[in-house]
């Protein structure tokens, strides 16, 4: 009389566990890099949102403004209300002197959390904000400097 096998053998279970382990070893670091790229995109958005207001302010007054948080106090003369802090990053060059001497300027955004923590993303201009170089790229003859975030976390527009 034949017996019918019920369930899995030990070797079959060990093979399944090994496959799951291999997949996890590949997937977890890739997912962490994906999360970091998403966090860095917030820094890109913060800086990108400031390019036009800074260029307009600079063209009108021939100087850079001091950036103040839009949700705190009303801006005074020489100040520009702006979103300068996000969940994962914040604009660190908020004083006019930190940005530079008009028409040249550099906007720095620092990462606050994640694998890119303490990394800096910069937007650089030499023509009063007509064009901005994101990261360490070159745009219209302006080469950005000062970005310390690993290039694999930057969007293509900011990669050198």
| pLDDT tens readout for residues 6-45 | 788 899 999 999 999 999 999 999 999 999 999 999 999 9
Note whether residue 147 is domain-resident.
yes
Note whether residue 65 is domain-resident.
yes
| pLDDT tens readout for residues 91-145 | 998 899 999 999 999 999 999 998 999 999 999 999 999 999 999 999 988 889 9
The reported pLDDT for the residue numbered 23 is: 94
2 band by pLDDT with thresholds 50, 70 and 90: confident
Two structure tokens written together for 146: 């000062």
Note whether residue 62 is domain-resident.
yes
Note whether residue 4 is domain-resident.
no
Note whether residue 46 is domain-resident.
yes
3 band by pLDDT with thresholds 50, 70 and 90: confident
pLDDT at 1 over 70: no
Considering only CA atoms, which of 95, 149, 80 is closest in space to residue 117? 149
How many structural domains compose the chain?
1
The reported pLDDT for the residue numbered 154 is: 93
Average pLDDT (44-67) is: 93
Domain containing residue 30: CATH number: 3.30.700.10
Note whether residue 143 is domain-resident.
yes
Structural domain of 124: 10-158
The reported pLDDT for the residue numbered 54 is: 94
Q: Are 113 and 134 in contact (CB under 8 A)?
A: no
Average pLDDT (58-76) is: 87
Note whether residue 58 is domain-resident.
yes
Q: Is 111 helix (H, G, I), strand (E, B) or coil?
A: strand
d(CA 7, CA 28): 30
The reported pLDDT for the residue numbered 20 is: 96
Note whether residue 1 is domain-resident.
no
Q: Which residues contact 82 (CB under 8 A, 6 or more apart)?
A: 49, 50, 53, 67, 68, 69, 70, 91
């Amino acid at each position: 009389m034949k017996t019918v096998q019920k369930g899995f053998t030990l070797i079959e279970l060990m093979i399944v566990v090994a496959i799951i382990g291999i997949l996890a070893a590949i997937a977890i670091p890739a997912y962490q890099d994906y999360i970091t790229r998403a966090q860095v995109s917030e820094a890109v958005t913060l800086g990108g949102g400031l390019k036009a207001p800074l260029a307009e302010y600079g063209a009108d007054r021939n100087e850079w403004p001091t950036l103040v948080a839009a949700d705190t106090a009303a801006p005074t003369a020489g100040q520009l209300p702006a979103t300068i802090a996000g969940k994962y990053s914040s604009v660190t060059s908020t004083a006019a002197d930190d940005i530079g001497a008009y028409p040249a300027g550099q906007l720095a955004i620092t990462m606050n959390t994640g694998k890119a923590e303490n990394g800096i993303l910069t937007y650089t201009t030499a023509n009063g904000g007509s064009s901005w170089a994101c990261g360490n790229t070159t745009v219209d003859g302006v080469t950005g400097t000062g970005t310390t975030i690993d290039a694999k976390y930057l969007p293509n527009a900011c990669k050198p």
